[in-house]
Amino acid sequence: MPKKVKSIVITGNGTNCEMEMAHACRLAGSDVVDIVHISMLLYGEKSLDDYHFLNLPGGFLDGDDLGSAKAGANRILHAKVKGKSENLYDQFARFIKQGKLILGVCNGFQLLVKLGMLPGFDGNYRNQTTTLTFNDSGRFEDRWVNLRVNPDSPCIFTKKVTGIYLPVRHGEGKFVTKDKDILERLHKDHQVVVEYCYEDFKDATMDYPANPNGAIDGIAGICNETGRIFGLMPHPEAYLHRTNHPRWTREKLPEEGMGLAVFKNAIDFVRKGDI
């Protein structure tokens, strides 16, 4: 009998895309979709242990006052769960160890890299080696971009996807690494999942505005070594239906938006898997 898939979308303290992300999970076929305020996790009213697919949506955690998602990462790393002898991070670590799926979009991606969960080399999910910093343009970028998908990536979320067109909305989306060795390993291990490109979906670009933030090597999203944790700056939950497309009244488009494939791949994986 197929597994009943349970998805959780964490909200609170500045997130603003939780409704769209939850809708994407429902459209993709998740049997249970709960939008849960992070305080409910901290007070022990909800637990990540009860879910298969964790979604970290976009927004501005804590106003990005210490840098994008940094305060949110500190909260997860150090805040105790009421009535338990564990930090919230321990639930995240258990979630990863059990092979469950995590998707972080925009601010959610920033959160994953600040926590050290991406790229998570050698199973170390607490060592920050990359970051997302201020756009080269010096301003908030709100535009649609083309993304080349790495066919050799182990990423669960992008299977059978070759190119994708999605919107970005961020002021700190420039992906950089701590040193050259980390960047080289990301490429060598195919953990670079999506890269900014032109309409032909071929080569990654550093050219603005196709690359809206100046991300090194055009990197728009990465995964961990298993492909079960995926973070990206563009918003797949913002293109679920043809009417989300900026030219939907002028072009003949498929009914289903390109972003939905990311969620369908996740739900299908959980339903067929052993997690």
Is residue 171 within 8 A of residue 134, CB to CB? The reply is yes
- Phi/psi at 83 (nearest 5 deg)? 80, 5
The total of other beta-carbon atoms located within 10 Å of residue 29's CB is 16
Q: What is the pLDDT of residue 273?
A: 84
Instruction: Indicate which residue of 155, 172, 197, 235 is catalytic.
Output: 235
Percent share of the chain, pLDDT over 70: 99
Identify the structural domains of the chain with CATH numbers, from first to last: 6-272 (3.40.50.880)
Question: What mean pLDDT value characterizes the chain?
Answer: 96
According to DSSP, the residues that pair with 80 across neighbouring strands are: 87
Instruction: Indicate which residue of 106, 155, 197, 223 is catalytic.
Output: 106
251 is catalytic: no
User: Per-residue pLDDT tens for 126-178?
Assistant: 999 999 999 999 999 999 999 999 999 999 999 999 999 999 999 999 999 99
Q: What is the pTM of this model?
A: 0.97
237 is catalytic: yes
> Tokens 């669960």 label which residue?
156
User: Per-residue pLDDT tens for 70-119?
Assistant: 999 999 999 999 999 999 999 999 999 999 999 999 999 999 999 999 99
235 is catalytic: yes
Q: Give 124's DSSP letter.
A: -
User: Per-residue pLDDT tens for 15-32?
Assistant: 999 999 999 999 999 999
Alpha carbon distances (Å) from 161 to 155, 226, 262: 11, 18, 9
